[in-house]
Amino acid sequence: MDLSQNNLSGEIPDIFKFFKSMKLLNLSFNNLEGPVPADGIFQNGRKVFIQGNMKLCTSTPLLRVPFCNAEASKQWNSSSILKIVGFTVLSLVLLSCFATIILKKKKNFKQAAHPSCKELKKFTYANLMRATNGFSSDNLIGSGKYGSVYRGRIESEEHEVAIKVFKLNQLRAPKSFIAECEALRNTRHRNLIRVITACSTIDPTGHDFKAIVLEYSVNGDLGSWLHPTVHEDGQRRPLSFGTRIVITVDFGLAKFLHSYTSSDIHTSTSLVGPRGSVGYIAPGNIF
């Protein structure tokens, strides 16, 4: 049936859907409007031609006309809701996984980095100031690029201590403080001085203050041991061959291990560097 270009108006009668034996229905280029029937011949897009009717709408994409507002809105809402729900669920799952990983790493880091935080002694700026008589030059043992070392006595300590105060105005001094704390905290050796605690606070002028409190070494310097002076009895007591070998091997191992560390450690706190940092260097250059 060909009813095209007949200036027909109104809605398409539902009666057409009962013509099951109809092989073709051409309603194109009329003034038809409203929803297109969904049953009968209208289920086959190859048998129905309705183009040119600008006010028609349909519930099936086979007829190539716009969807009716209700159907389109319904379909859009359904698909949109599914997409939004799916995206939300996926985001929550990913966020939960990410949060779990972060919390686990943070927990492991705290356990690994601070295994004995409760055992560390806590000293204030005032404690260290009293111990060194106001960081007096009379108590100064030595000074380097990143800090100065003072000799002092803290009330709660049985023996004298060495207090290394960092010069935070230097470019790499804060990183040096952190790296040196990590290096000395994780290193155990009979020839390395024990770290008692670290102090990170604000001084009375409002500036950052960072220091490390260590054992005080009273055994002189390496030079006097390697090249001793003549004693009152007229005898020289140099280090034995075995002791010299131990020093050489220990220093060689430290140098070998040092070559596999990061550049940050190299430049900030070397255990074998010549700056005078605490580590496996001449005791005279330490304190």
Give pLDDT tens digits for 177-203.
Answer: 777 666 666 666 666 677 788 788 888
Look at 156 and 94; give whichever has higher pLDDT: 94
In eight-state DSSP terms, residue 272 is S
> How many residues in the chain?
287
Tell me if 75 is assigned to some domain.
Answer: no
| Annotated binding-site members for ATP | 164
CA–CA distance, 100 with 271 (Å, rounded to integer)? 37
* Parent domain of 107: 80-113
Closest CA to 195 of 119, 266, 255: 119
| Annotated binding-site members | 164
- What are the phi and psi torsion angles at 128 (to 5°)? -70, -35
257 in the same domain as 190:
yes
222 in the same domain as 157:
yes
CA–CA distance, 269 with 98 (Å, rounded to integer)? 34
Segment (H or E) for 220: none
280 in the same domain as 250:
yes
Number of domains in the chain: 3
84 in the same domain as 52:
no
Question: pLDDT per residue over 199-241, tens digit each?
Answer: 888 888 888 888 888 888 776 666 666 666 655 555 656 667 7
CB-side neighbour CA atoms (13 Å) of 13: 6
189 in the same domain as 164:
yes
CB-side neighbour CA atoms (13 Å) of 187: 22
Tell me if 138 is assigned to some domain.
Answer: yes
Tell me if 280 is assigned to some domain.
Answer: yes
CB-side neighbour CA atoms (13 Å) of 213: 25
153 in the same domain as 104:
no
Domain of residue 228, CATH code: 3.30.200.20
b (16+ CB within 10 A) / e for 60-74: eeebebebbeebeee
pLDDT at residue 275, as a whole number? 40
Tell me if 145 is assigned to some domain.
Answer: yes
Tell me if 3 is assigned to some domain.
Answer: no
State the pLDDT confidence band at 141, using cuts at 50, 70 and 90: confident
163 in the same domain as 32:
no
265 in the same domain as 208:
yes
250 in the same domain as 157:
yes
Residue carrying the six token digits 């994409």: 61
Tell me if 72 is assigned to some domain.
Answer: no
pLDDT at residue 8, as a whole number? 85
Tell me if 43 is assigned to some domain.
Answer: yes
SS3 string of 44-67? CCCCEECCCCCEEEECCHHHCCCE
268 in the same domain as 132:
yes
Q: Please, what sign has the CA dihedral across residues 92, 93, 99, 102?
A: negative
88 in the same domain as 62:
no
228 in the same domain as 174:
yes
Tell me if 74 is assigned to some domain.
Answer: no
In eight-state DSSP terms, residue 234 is S
CA–CA distance, 279 with 142 (Å, rounded to integer)? 15
